[in-house]
């Protein structure tokens, strides 16, 4: 049986050009039919953001889908292939099936004050923030109350999301083989009266984080690119998800090479 491949691209001209070049290579050279429904392999063309969108489209069937990213800008964290490597990519699709690498995801349960709740999976992170006023929340790790947080908000990220928003708020870069979550503060209030940990914390895979909101009014929750809507939020619970994301792995990419390429790039 032939591999069922779906392609998702962003609407930038460069991505559209790559799409036009990749389709005949896959269909004619590799003899693989592209499908819209139930793909086994999803190829994204664009950036890490495009891969995030594809993840959210297929996150209900993660055990059946492999992802593969072609980057049309710089090398990404979810995108192994460059736009000038399409022939090599097609050869790999023909030759080499079944190899994959998987990474942890974040399980998010948002509880609303009317008793309802919503469940999400995040590939990068989830944040809780409050608009103009200080967010006040009790932060629990397992049953232990760690602190009463005051500040702009909190971010909880996956290892692969550690290089995204988490890094911008001072979090550490985590190797994706580490099955852990990272809690990072967004502009915490620390003075003689109020005190928080004041540094990012790495939470092990047997632990969970619960944030019980104490401030009144609207809080904003994000899950990757999504804004969560609903009535007033009372608490949010984070743990490592049972599901993982699986990437087709036709060649090894050194994680710290990606980090260097994205953030330092001195040679
Ligand atoms: P966007 O605002 O259009 O792009 C945000 C940037 O984050 C893009 O350059 C994207 O790379 C990059 N990115 C996404 N995932 C990454 C990862 N795991 N490691 C390193 N960089 C990553 O938003 P978007 O494309 O829809 O992506 C949503 C994500 O953007 C969120 O999950 C959040 O992590 C991130 N974000 C970061 C900030 C910040 O750092 N202050 C603010 C808002 C959102 P590409 O160019 O390859 O797509």
Does the pLDDT of residue 74 top 90, yes or no?
A: no
Cβ–ligand 1 contact at 166 (below 6 Å): no
Q: Of all atoms in ligand 1, which is nearest to the CA of residue 224?
A: 32
The answer on 18 and 81 residing in a single domain is yes
The answer on 171 and 203 residing in a single domain is yes
The answer on 93 and 176 residing in a single domain is no
The answer on 257 and 233 residing in a single domain is no
Could you give the number of structural domains in the chain? 2
Q: What is the mean pLDDT of residues 244-259?
A: 90
Query: What residues make up the domain containing 46?
Result: 3-99+249-264
User: CA-to-CA distance for 179 and 36, rounded, in angstroms?
Assistant: 32
Does the pLDDT of residue 1 top 60, yes or no?
A: no
Binding-site residue positions for NAD(+): 48-49, 124-125, 150, 152, 163-168, 187
pLDDT class for 16, splitting at 50, 70, 90? very high
CATH code of 203's domain: 2.60.200.30
Cβ–ligand 1 contact at 48 (below 6 Å): yes
Q: Of all atoms in ligand 1, which is nearest to the CA of residue 76?
A: 47
CATH code of 22's domain: 3.40.50.10330
The answer on 111 and 88 residing in a single domain is no
Contacts of 107 (CB under 8 A, 6+ apart): 119, 120, 121, 238, 239, 240, 241, 242
Above pLDDT 70, what percent of the chain? Answer: 98
The answer on 226 and 159 residing in a single domain is yes
Does the pLDDT of residue 56 top 90, yes or no?
A: yes
Cβ–ligand 1 contact at 77 (below 6 Å): yes
DSSP tag of 252: -
Q: Which residue has the higher pLDDT, 266 or 221?
A: 221
Q: What is the mean pLDDT of residues 235-239?
A: 98
The answer on 115 and 237 residing in a single domain is yes
What is the residue with the minimal CA distance to atom 24 of ligand 1? 49
What pLDDT shows up at residue 6? 96
Q: What is the mean pLDDT of residues 184-207?
A: 96
The answer on 212 and 197 residing in a single domain is yes
pLDDT class for 29, splitting at 50, 70, 90? confident
Distance 42 CA to ligand 1 centre (A): 20
What pLDDT shows up at residue 39? 95
User: CA-to-CA distance for 87 and 28, rounded, in angstroms?
Assistant: 12
The answer on 51 and 177 residing in a single domain is no
Cβ–ligand 1 contact at 163 (below 6 Å): yes
The answer on 143 and 83 residing in a single domain is no
| pTM check: above 0.75 | yes
Contact 137, 181 (CB under 8 A): no
Cβ–ligand 1 contact at 41 (below 6 Å): no
The answer on 183 and 168 residing in a single domain is yes
State the pairing for strand pair 233-248/66-71. parallel
| Helix, coil or strand: residue 183 | strand
The answer on 178 and 83 residing in a single domain is no
Alpha-carbon distances of 212 from 87, 165, 168, 193, rounded to whole Å:
51, 22, 24, 20
Distance 164 CA to ligand 1 centre (A): 6
Catalytic-residue membership of 48: yes
99-112 pLDDT, tens digit each: 899 999 999 999 99
């Amino acid at each position: 049986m032939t591999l069922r491949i779906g392609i998702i691209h962003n609407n930038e001209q460069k991505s559209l050009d790559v799409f036009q070049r990749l389709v005949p290579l896959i269909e004619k050279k590799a003899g693989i039919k592209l499908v819209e429904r139930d793909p086994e392999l999803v190829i994204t063309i664009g950036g890490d953001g495009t891969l995030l969108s594809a993840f959210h489209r297929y996150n209900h069937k993660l055990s059946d889908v492999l992802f593969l990213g072609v980057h049309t800008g710089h090398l990404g964290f979810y995108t192994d292939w460059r736009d000038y490597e399409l022939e090599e990519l097609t050869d790999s699709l023909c030759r080499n099936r079944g190899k994959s690498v998987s990474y942890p995801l974040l399980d998010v349960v948002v509880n609303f004050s009317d008793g309802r709740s919503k469940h999400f999976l995040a590939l990068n992170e989830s944040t809780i923030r409050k608009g103009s006023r200080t967010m006040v929340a009790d932060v629990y790790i397992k049953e232990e109350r760690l602190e009463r947080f005051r500040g702009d908000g909190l971010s909880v990220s996956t290892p692969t999301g550690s290089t995204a928003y988490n890094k911008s708020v001072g979090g550490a870069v985590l190797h994706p083989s580490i099955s852990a979550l990272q809690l990072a503060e967004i502009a915490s209030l620390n003075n003689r009266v109020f005190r928080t940990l004041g540094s990012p914390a790495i939470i092990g895979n047997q632990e969970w984080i619960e944030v019980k909101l104490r401030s009144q009014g609207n809080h904003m929750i994000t899950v990757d690119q999504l804004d969560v809507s609903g009535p007033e939020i009372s608490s949010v619970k984070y743990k490592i998800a049972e599901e993982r994301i699986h990437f087709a792995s036709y060649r090894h990419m050194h994680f710290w090479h990606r980090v260097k390429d994205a953030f330092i790039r001195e040679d």
